[in-house]
Amino acid sequence: MLQKLIINTEQGSSMLKQAIGNDTKGKISMLAYMIAAGLAIIQPWIAQALYVILALLWLIPDRRIERMLYSTEKDGKSRE
């Protein structure tokens, strides 16, 4: 939600928007959280497992923004 707010505030060509792209990881996470919430009523242990998997997924560093900043710096230096 914070990413979307920043992108909407910047409007136009946002570096964050370019770095994030279509945000597949975020969309999959939201879907999985909704599924886990529904499963919590039927099979709590499956919901708990999904929550743990999602938490572990987000512990893996997301390098998209770093790559974007690196490529921008690289392009800026090559123009000089």
The string of pLDDT tens digits covering residues 22-57 is 888 888 999 999 999 999 999 999 999 999 999 998
Q: How many CA atoms lie within 13 A of 10 on its CB side?
A: 13
Percentage of the chain with pLDDT > 70?
Answer: 92
Q: Which residue has the higher pLDDT, 56 or 5?
A: 56
Q: Which residue has the higher pLDDT, 72 or 31?
A: 31
Give the angle subtended at the CA of 13 by the CAs of 77 and 80, to the nearest 5°: 15
Q: Which residue has the higher pLDDT, 73 or 35?
A: 35
| Residue 79 banded pLDDT, cuts 50, 70, 90 | very low
Integer CA distances (angstroms), 74 to 18, 65, 70, 78, in order: 16, 14, 6, 6
